[in-house]
Amino acid sequence: MNFSVNGRAYELALDPRTSLLDLLREHLRLTGTKKGCDQGACGACTVLVDGVRINSCLALAVQYQGREITTVEGLANEPELHPLQSAFIEQDGFQCGYCTPGQICSALAMVEEARRGVPSVLTPDLSVDHIDLTHDELRERMSGNLCRCGAHNGIIAAIEAALATRAAP
Ligand code: FES
Ligand code: FES
């Protein structure tokens, strides 16, 4: 099978039942993406596929051949961190860090969803072109990413800080 991950091409023989998460962690050794629940409940495994966030534990790798997969390892412009990664450090957006790669990938795609006009359950007017990412909208839109350390306030503060500096793409 052929995959493109973080701009790099990979070719490998793979059991067709392998999840995208296991492809990343066990076969490509990209262990930044975390396995929490392995059943779609926690968001720790969130990666980007063509810029859209998905739970990689629920995805069969075979379905994502020919797509551009981005993990947390692909976000930084080394030696510089991605601005949202820096904001997580500055705003105390983590404790143990286990959920953090998923939080960051999820937040990047979430901002794009809002820019495309994708509503959340809190969006008051479905006809508007521009959705204002208020504090409550951010919390709702990030509710699929759980943090067992309870760092949610810092996580939202980091996203808000990145948005305020227009650092989040
Ligand atoms: S590990 Fe995928 S949602 Fe929890
Ligand atoms: S920082 Fe520990 S689970 Fe989120």
CA dist 123 and 131 (Å) reads 7
Report whether residue 60 contacts ligand 2, using a CB cutoff of 6 Å: no
Cα–Cα distance, 92 to 90 (Å, whole number) = 6
**Closest atom of ligand 2 to CA, residue 147:** 4
- Whether 142 contacts 102, CB under 8 Å: no
Ligand nearest to the CA of residue 99, numbered in listed order: 2
CB 112 within 8 A of CB 169: yes
Q: Where in the chain are the domains?
A: 2-74, 83-167
Question: Number of C-alpha atoms within 13 angstroms, CB side, residue 25?
Answer: 18
Alpha helix (H) ranges present in 42-132? Answer: 83-90, 100-115
Structure tokens at 3: 């995959």
For ligand 2, atom 4, the nearest C-alpha belongs to: 147
Distance between Cα 9 and ligand 2 center (Å): 31
Q: Using one digit for the tens of pLDDT, what is the confidence trace for 95-135?
A: 999 999 999 999 999 999 999 999 999 998 888 878 999 99
Q: Tell me: pLDDT of 168 over 80.
A: no
Same fold, 2-74 and 83-167: no
Query: 125 C-alpha vs ligand 2 centroid, how far in Å?
Result: 33
Homologous superfamily assigned to 2-74 = Beta-grasp domain (3.10.20.30)
pLDDT single digits (tens) 67-102: 999 999 999 998 999 999 999 999 999 999 999 999
Instruction: Check if CATH label 1.10.150.120 holds for domain 83-167.
Output: yes
* pLDDT tens sequence across 18-35: 999 999 999 999 999 999
